[in-house]
Amino acid sequence: MKGSHQTKAYDFKNRDVLVLKKLWPYLVKMKSRVIWAVLFLIFAKLANVSVPIALKEIVDHLDEPNVLLVLPLGLLTAYGFLRLLSALFNELRDAVFAKVRYHAMRFVAIGVFKHLHSLDLSFHLDRRIGGITRDIDRGTQSVSTLLSIFVFNILPSLFEIFLVIGLLWISYDLFFAATSLITVFLYILLTLAITNWRMKYRYDMNDMQSEANTNAVDSLINYETVKYFNQDNFEVERYDNTMRRWEEVAVKSFTSMTALNFAQSAVIAIGVTIILILAADGVVKSALTLGDMIMIQALLLQLFLPLGSLGIIYRQIKHNFIDMNNMFDLLEKSSKIKDIKGAKDIEVNNAKVEFQNISFAYEGKDKVLKDISFSIEPGQKVAIVGSSGSGKSTISKLLFRFYDVSSGQILIDGQDIKQYTQRSVQSAIGVVPQEPVMFNESIFYNISYGKYGATKEEVVHAAKLAYIHDFISKLPLGYDTLVGERGLKLSGGEKQRMAIARVLLKNPPILIFDEATSALDSHSEKMVQKALDELAQKHTTLVIAHRLSTIIDSSNIIVLGDGKVIEQGTHQELIQSGGEYKRLWEIQVNNQSDEI
């Protein structure tokens, strides 16, 4: 375990630099605000450091015999004015920099969100939603925190430290400045060393927190499954096991922090004591005035107060670097499906689809498809059937460019889809999947998703064509009805018909029906099939079929077996040939099995 943390620490040193490079463009983009914020920072610290000087003059004048009252009043007024200026410039700095802070937070979040949508299907099939959302939340918040820390804490503290030490050096003996500098150096060295050692606990806490969050999200998404199998206690126990381990590490993290706090306090106490003894000795020997001693004490307070928070700030910086690590890991992931350099948008006129000698294998697996060739003429309906695992759905994913072929070509109107932008290829294709998923929004939102800016009339028209309008009209809220998480408030047939309405709005030249009726009851199947048949008219259509009764009218039926085309033809031709298709047909007709 120890070795793994050492490796992480090394990686994060490089990552710290990367994080700063990532943040730099956001500062440059709004450099005028950053410059003003830094100027207000300098003015605030100059006013702040001037306060002890004013205090010294007040004490020295009050200590003089026969002092005129008007002079201390003037100095007292100046003292109050300097404190007011310090507060004013600090607030102005915060106000000016707020735009930089939240602008950066917003654009980092947008960048990550956009990047996640650019990644290919294989990444999203492997992802854990709970862990990713947690990483994004922590990462974007860390952007804001880091920017704030650097501008509101690090720069002001460093500027004030050097200002105070310089003032002690110029105004008093070099020994005062040297002792202060050594104290600061030891404090920072001790803080860095102990904090780096404590980071291993933060790594473990983040890992366990992400694990717990992922488990919780998975459990809640699958609420019905949990209830079906009476696994409430198991889910709670699984969550508690992770949180128990997190609790143990969190306690260790906190107790190690108390040791660090004591060590920091000890360094400051020793340094301040030495300097005050020297100052008191100077007052006794009349080398220094009482005002000098008060000024030195006030300067030390201003020196060590920000230094005291520097330890906490450093820990926050390290924690935020860690929190941002997973988010930047997401940004570094690249899609395996990429557009070629200079790729243009594909132009689809007739919508003829050709598969020429296609072979494909998923990463780390044997070939799913082996030298597949077939074509779909414009306006034709072609069906693909076969046993489970024969590669039916893979063909639809390759056409949609969720994956790229290992060898061969997929052509649309004679154009190799790999040579054109994914976005344009996917815009030309509409998909009705076997299990359509809905957003947790209104019915109107889910149907209109097929066409940005669709009007109410267009949505209603699409719903009527998909035979779902009558059902929607009977709902109390009609098209404003929320469908629930992933559309759980709708039946399978209702979701399918909404998915068809959505594709109708998109109105692409090529359609893919991926086993769109396989999980429906007879009544729902008839409704959905009727909508599909009307949708398929005047479109080039590829049907991934489970129920053979739905594809009898297909122009061509392709039968897959072991990743190859083993036969093809019309329904009648395949029945007469007495091959695999006839066997599958007889299984369904005789109700011996629902599996093909």
DSSP string, 54-86: HHHHHHHHHTSTT--THHHHHHHHHHHHHHHHH
pLDDT for res 180: 81
Tell which residue, 535, 568, 370, has the closest CA to residue 464: 535
Q: Count of CB atoms within 10 A of residue 233's CB?
A: 8
Closest CA to 509 of 409, 398, 430, 418: 430
Question: Measuring CA to CA, how many Å separate 112 from each of 320, 326, 327, 330?
Answer: 17, 11, 8, 7
What span, in angstroms and rounded, lies between the C-alpha atoms of 584 and 190?
75
Report in angstroms the alpha-carbon separations of 392 from 240, 336, 368, 389, 467.
42, 22, 9, 8, 28
Residue type for position 227 = K
The pLDDT of residue 5: 40
C-alpha 109/C-alpha 32 separation (Å) is 23
Query: pLDDT under 50 in the chain at which residues?
Result: 1-12, 69-70, 592-596
| pTM for the structure as a whole | 0.63
Residues 6+ apart with CB under 8 A from 583: none
Segment 61-110, tens digit of pLDDT: 565 555 554 455 666 677 677 778 878 877 887 777 777 777 777 777 77
What pLDDT shows up at residue 310? 65
H or E element: which one contains 525?
Answer: helix 522-536
State the pLDDT at residue 380.
87
Single out the residue of 259, 262, 288 nearest to residue 275, CA to CA. Answer: 288
Q: pLDDT per residue over 221-258, tens digit each?
A: 788 788 877 788 888 998 899 888 888 888 888 887 78
pLDDT at 205: 83
What is the reported pLDDT for 46?
74
Q: What is the CATH number of domain 2-332?
A: 1.20.1560.10
Cα–Cα distance measured from residue 155 to residue 163, given in angstroms and rounded to the nearest whole number: 12
Number of other CB atoms surrounding residue 224 within 10 Å: 9
> Which 3-state string (H, E, C) describes 454-495?
CCHHHHHHHHHHCCCHHHHHCCCCHHHCECCHHHCCCCHHHH
Residue 173, SS3 per DSSP: coil
Task: For the sheet with 407-412, list strands across it.
Answer: 367-376, 353-361, 407-412, 415-416
Q: How many CA atoms lie within 13 A of 278 on its CB side?
A: 18
pLDDT of residue 399: 92
In the chain, what are the domain boundaries?
A: 2-332
Q: Which two tokens stand for residue 520?
A: 């429906």
Determine whether 84 is exposed, middle or buried from the number of CB atoms within 10 Å of its CB (0-12, 13-18, 19+): exposed
**Residue 521 has what pLDDT?**
63
* Res 417: pLDDT: 92
pLDDT of the residue at 596: 43
DSSP 553: T
How many angstroms separate the CA atoms of 312 and 151, rounded? 15
